[in-house]
Structure 1
Amino acid sequence: MARFPNSHPMPPELQGEPDAADLERTWALLGSIEPISQGKGEGEGLALDRAWQRLEAAMEGDDIATEHPSVSLQPVSPQPVSPQPVKPQPVSPHVDRREGRPGRGSIRRNSWPGLLLAAASVAALALGVTAFSSVTVEAGPGALTQVSLPDGSSAELNSGSTLTHSRWALPWGGGARTVRLTGEAYFDIVAAPRPFTVETFNARVVVLGTRFNVRARDEMGGGTDVALETGRVRLEARSTALVRDPEGRAAVELEPGQGAGIPLGAVAPGPPTLVTVERATAWRARGFAVTDRPLDAILRELERRFAVEIQVAPGVELGDTLTLHYTDPREIRTILADIATARGLRFRETSRGFEVF
């Protein structure tokens, strides 16, 4: 039977994944395994079982066993199955089949890294490489969303935010644990030998194990701002080359209770400053807090928080900055009334939201 050609390159769409190094090793391992085809009268589950057994045998000779002694695989004894006609079911390339395949008692508890790699390979054999695609989670307007990350860390997304992470947790070997954030999120990161990295449109936050808030908005008065609750993080500009600002800073390291940011157009973060983490994370309790933020950015934030449309009449100065802090949930009418009082403005309700004039 023909084998999968070792010279076949890994698809370009996988090379940009955060765990591309581990995926490339998995791809190379697939080159030594004969392809699996569904036999006559054999259900899809049996075909996957045979793929699993064949992959385990291939992994016993792979360098993973010597490089990572904790990975231990035991031979699988074939289970007798009474042949029954099974109507083949169509398989969607987006179906996640990680659950249900490994639970056959053939792999010891201390071999879970090998299990994950093998499960990824079986998914590729059965479903194609689309099973390796990243996962994107979105918190829509007016919603807060909890995200459980594959390595055991967690994130909470603010309204109008998205987080992209790898589908697989591969804790050994090279490469960082990386997620991509648009919007705002609070992270609780488990400690691990490899760093955890949050990438935004203009910044990179590198941590080992900590709790912190990241806000990244590409809009007037925006940028990337970090507030650290516990642990230690490093904030640096996201650039292909090391670029320093006139004061010589390329990155800053934050201590608990400190914050720093990279404004739009900046090449490096500003110096660390003392911050009130409770204020930076007021959104988690449905509060609302902004510090020296332009009116335009505040109104856009209110649109995301309350899922409404806010129109602004000509002549309203959107660049004026304002500081607001509500520790408890408040109605949007209350917040708009305070803004109108502070800036000598008025507002009214419309069929789709509000108008400020």
Structure 2
Amino acid sequence: MKKNRLLAKWLNDDLSPDELAEFEAGPDFEKYQKIKNYTNHLEISDLDENAMLSNILAQKKTTPKVVPLYKKWLFKAAAIFVLALGITFAMKFLVPQTHKADFGEKTTFSLPDNSEVVLNSGSEINYKKWNWDNNRHLELKGEAYFRVAKGRRFEVQTLLGKVTVLGTQFNVKARKNRFDVVCYEGRVKVNYGNTQILLTHGQSVSFENGKEIKMTVNSLKPEWTQNQICFYKENIRSLLDEVERQYNIKIELNTKDSIALFTGKLPAKDLNTALQIISTTYHLESKKVSENKVIFDEK
């Protein structure tokens, strides 16, 4: 500390004779002397404080751009609205639409062109609303009755075959290996494997396990839409499957499959009568073991 104090006083020429003698006798005096001699030749211009202040004040001030808080919220709200609108559009038009009729139910709905569809129990339809007028195509699992508005080609695709129309009324049924199509108005083109058939008013066609079955039409619309289950040359397993769908029940068959094919009608709103008809036809005995389960045994 004493050394630094003497250095400061020496630089200011403020040492007493005794202090000067002591400082010059120090080991670093020669180095301090060279530094002092060099700095004495440096010239520093006087600082013009007034000029500096005037120069700063003369410069153009840049006002920072401040976005009000309410505008930030407006931007966020607009972004959320646009995002929600996009999601809504995608869900409504791009994402496939699905309509189902559960067991024991039927449902009616309209397509974008006002074509009407009636879904039978245990059936499902999928389609897209986007560009519907130019691409009227849907996929069916189960059975449905269509009243198609006139327009471009209308296609119903099933796992067993495809039906193509322009504007007409028809019924399509695709259950397991059975594929039935009935035309009630206009014309219907049916594609099944390598077979193509054109149906007109009052005509129908059925296929089962790859074989065509001749079928006649005796009604103006599907019987199932009038609460009657109609069968044409169907085996007992198919018959019981349809009864399960219509009444939303489980049926257990404790007998060998009969080879007899059933042609006729069963009520879709009277389970006891339907069970009685089946029992009489196949010589069985029906028993309701619970509200939703029926067992058929051999007599």
- TM-score bracket, normalised by the shorter chain, equals 0.5 to 0.7
Q: CA deviation at 1:47?
A: 4.1
Alignment match, 2:39: none
The amino acid that maps onto 1:197 is E
Map of 1:106-117 to 2, 5 A cutoff?
A: none
1:288 aligns with 2:240: no
Does the Cα contact within 8 Å between 1:150 and 1:169 map onto a contact in 2? no
Higher relative contact order (CA 8 A, sep 6+): 1
| 8 Å Cα contact 1:287/1:329 also seen in 2 | yes
Work out the CA distance in 2 between the residues paired with 1:271 and 1:296.
Answer: 18
2:174 corresponding residue in structure 1: 216
2:111 corresponds in structure 1 to 149
Which of 272, 275, 282 lines up with 2:217 in the alignment? 275
Aligned residues: 226
Q: For 1:342, which of 276, 281, 289 is the aligned residue? A: 281
Mapped to 2, the partners of 1:355 and 1:150 lie a distance apart of: 44
Deviation of the 1:308 alpha carbon: 0.5
Whole-angstrom distance in 2 between the partners of 1:295 and 1:271:
17
- Structure 1 unaligned blocks of 5 or more: 1-38, 52-89, 92-96, 98-122, 244-249
Closer, same or farther: CA 337–272 of 1 in aligned 2, 3 Å: closer
Indicate the residue corresponding to 1:11 in structure 2: none
Percent of aligned positions with the same letter in both sequences? 27
For the structure 1 residues 189 and 45, does the alpha-carbon distance in structure 2 shift closer, same or farther, using more than 3 Å as the test?
Answer: farther
Does 1:42 pair with 2:64?
no
Aligned partners of 1:181 and 1:199 also within 8 Å: yes
CA distance in 1, matches of 2:192, 2:174: 12
Counterpart in 1 of 2:264? 324
Which has more strand, going by share of residues? 2
What residue in structure 2 maps to residue 69 of structure 1?
none
Inter-partner Cα distance in structure 2 for 1:165 and 1:189: 15
SS at match of 1:257: coil
What is the 5 A alignment of 1:43-62? 46-47=78-79
Q: 1:354 aligns with which of 271, 294, 297?
A: 294
The gaps in structure 2 that reach 5 residues or longer are: 1-70
Describe how 1:1-357 pairs up with structure 2 within 5 A: 40-42=72-74, 46-47=78-79, 123=86, 132-172=94-134, 176-192=135-151, 194-218=152-176, 222-237=177-192, 243=194, 250-265=195-210, 270=212, 274-278=216-220, 281-313=222-254, 315-326=255-266, 329-351=268-290, 352-357=292-297
Secondary structure of the structure 2 residue equivalent to 1:297: helix
TM (norm. structure 2) is 0.68
RMSD (Å), alpha carbons = 2.7
- Quote the Cα distance in structure 2 between the aligned partners of 1:233 and 1:136: 24
Larger relative helix fraction:
2
Q: Secondary structure at the match of 2:129?
A: coil
Residue in structure 2 matched with residue 20 of structure 1 by the alignment: none
| Residue 32 of structure 2: aligned partner | none
Amino acid at match of 2:201: P
TM (normalized to structure 1)? 0.57
How far off its partner does 1:316 sit? 3.1
Report if aligned partners of 2:215, 2:232 keep a CA contact under 8 Å in 1.
no
> 1:341 is matched by which residue type in structure 2?
T
Write the letter of the residue equivalent to 1:333.
N
Q: Does the Cα contact within 8 Å between 1:179 and 1:199 map onto a contact in 2?
A: yes
CA distance in 2, matches of 1:341, 1:272: 26
Give the whole-Å Cα distance in 2 for the aligned partners of 1:44 and 1:178.
39
